[in-house]
Structure 1
Amino acid sequence: MTSTLFHPWQSYTCAYDRHLPPNGDPQGPPIVLVHPIGVGLSRQFWHRFITAWYDHGHRNAIYNPDLLGCGESSMPRAAYTPADWARQLQTLVDTVIQEPVIVIIQGALAPVGLEWVAQAPDQVRAMVLSGPPAWRLMTSPTKPSRQKLAWNLFDTPLGNGFYRYARREAFLRSFSERQLFGTAADVDQDWLDCLHRGSRQMASRHAVFAFLAGFWRQDYGDAIAAVPCPTLVIFGETASSVTRGYVESADQRLEAYLHHLPQGQGRKIPGRNVLPYEATQTFTEVVGEFLQSIHVKVL
């Protein structure tokens, strides 16, 4: 079993684990995984992908961090932004990994990758965006006053009560079936137990509330057009948005991203919004094919 490791960032402690191929030394550039933000979500989101990656014979070292506010990392009462999390990951590369990496990002944390490659382009060799938000959502900023109002509302006893309600198994199952998974049967006990464990600490609510308040909602059109590295965008065939009013098919989303990414590739695979978890084997195969197509060593 892999032990939890820690590194400092500013005044905080950031958790991560490091995975190596079961037999022999690692080969090729390291991979950094970026988990989504949500009730109970942490680096544990990636455990199925990590197993599948090595089962497919790949030999890259994998670094799997808990973003600040999640898992075993520090959980300050703060309005986290994608730039904050990007700087945390830059420090992981600077101080621990010390070489350029491949970044694989789930869902609406895509802005973290965009901030990262904008601030430290030499750190990222290639990027994979799994189910990023609808294009309109990524290019329609929320007013700072509205973000602050939402944060102040969440940062109250009312918000505390909501978080206690949202971490109930019945709510987590219902939300996962309605918004995340393509097939209700895939919302298994392993998934629910992972969310339950991750949401035990009430301080984990701050990252969730910062996300819900929309601090990640900016106009990223120019940032996407300026991404300096090869980028794979993967959508589920039944991809949907949890934000009302942003209805786009998987084809429409994929076309928009590929139209703007300078070195973009795109794939659709069976599934909905949490592809590394619900469609692990296919997702793993597609990522491996992408890295080989851009001549990145994965074996």
Structure 2
Amino acid sequence: MSSSRLLLIHPIGVGLSSRFWDRFITCWRASDHTTTLLAPDLLGCGVNEHSNQQLAPEDWATSLIDLLREHNNTPAILVSQGASLPIALAVIEIAPELVAGLIAISPPSWRILEEPFPRMQSQLLWRLLFQGAIGSLFFRYARRRKFLKSFSVNNLFASYENVDAEWLDMLDQEAANMTTRWATFSFLAGFWRRNWTKQWQDIKKPIWLLFGQEATGIGRSEYWDDAQDRIDTYAREMPNASSATIRGRNVLPYESTAECVSQLQSWLLHN
């Protein structure tokens, strides 16, 4: 693929920011110094602080579009991680001329992408749970190192040994800023949840999907698909997209960094 610019879109959650991509970028630079890697903090994350307001994919997308425009309006390949995929889709909807292609690493299950979350329920969660003292207490609880480690082992990594000090230190440091809770709460309240499937399927740009062989849903639900079900569903629903699988679960750029970078670079080279 001719584009030499990647826009890396990090996931949203307690302690998550553009630092999620640090290992990925270091590994990439070991073999490629020419590709431009843009890894900004999403609105409300890291140093990009945001006030007590709801955030939707369009809000996160707008700041990314501004960044691309600041870089000479050159089209970039969007690289989404997990449930940041709707943010990438919003960028494509608003500014398709700035997008050369889309790479979705660990995309959510198809069910999550096609089932809207009730707007009234999102508003109630925001108003009654997240905006008040309960929300503040919840965030303080969720940013404890013990909780972060348990959540990572149970939901994100294929191997508990990969939940290392570097990962936990990063989450600790980034979650110390209480203002980052508004982005996390916007995500947890489900303001990003709507039926994205038609927009997803209508994309005319090159698309590449990367799945972890141990991919799972986040949390506990009898409705989560397993990795093979997810791969099969995407193959059926997105026949024009290329895909690959590697070792790992739900945070492939961090857990299986070298393999993730190698597969992505290979796809770019041959497309």
Distance 1:62 1:165 in 2: 34
CA displacement, residues 11-66 of structure 1 (integer Å, 9 cap, x when unaligned): xxxxxxxxxxxxxxxx9521111000010100000000001111123520111100
**Consecutive unaligned residues in structure 1, runs of 5 or more:** 1-26, 295-299
Q: Within 5 Å, which residues of 2 pair with 1:1-299?
A: 28-57=3-32, 59-152=34-127, 153-243=129-219, 244-261=221-238, 263-294=240-271
Report the AA paired with residue 45 of structure 1.
F
CA displacement, residues 143-186 of structure 1 (integer Å, 9 cap, x when unaligned): 11011111112111001001001101000000000000000000
Normalised by the length of structure 1, the TM-score is 0.86
CA displacement, residues 221-261 of structure 1 (integer Å, 9 cap, x when unaligned): 10111112111111111101115243212222122223333
Distance 2:245 2:236 in 1: 16
Give the count of matched residue pairs.
268
**Aligned Cα RMSD in Å?**
1.4
Distance 1:168 1:124 in 2: 38
Distance 1:260 1:97 in 2: 35
**Consecutive unaligned residues in structure 2, runs of 5 or more:** none
> Is the contact made by 2:8 and 2:39 (CA closer than 8 Å) also made in structure 1?
yes
Normalised by the length of structure 2, the TM-score is 0.95
Distance 1:97 1:36 in 2: 26
> Is the contact made by 1:250 and 1:268 (CA closer than 8 Å) also made in structure 2?
no
> Is the contact made by 2:109 and 2:217 (CA closer than 8 Å) also made in structure 1?
yes
> Is the contact made by 1:33 and 1:105 (CA closer than 8 Å) also made in structure 2?
yes
Query: 4+ residue stretches of structure 1 with deviation over 4 A?
Result: none
Distance 2:227 2:181 in 1: 30
Distance 2:267 2:169 in 1: 32
> Is the contact made by 2:76 and 2:100 (CA closer than 8 Å) also made in structure 1?
yes
SS in 2 for 1:234: strand
> Is the contact made by 1:46 and 1:277 (CA closer than 8 Å) also made in structure 2?
yes
> Is the contact made by 2:49 and 2:180 (CA closer than 8 Å) also made in structure 1?
no
Distance 2:238 2:224 in 1: 21
Deviates more, 1:208-217 or 1:111-120: 111-120
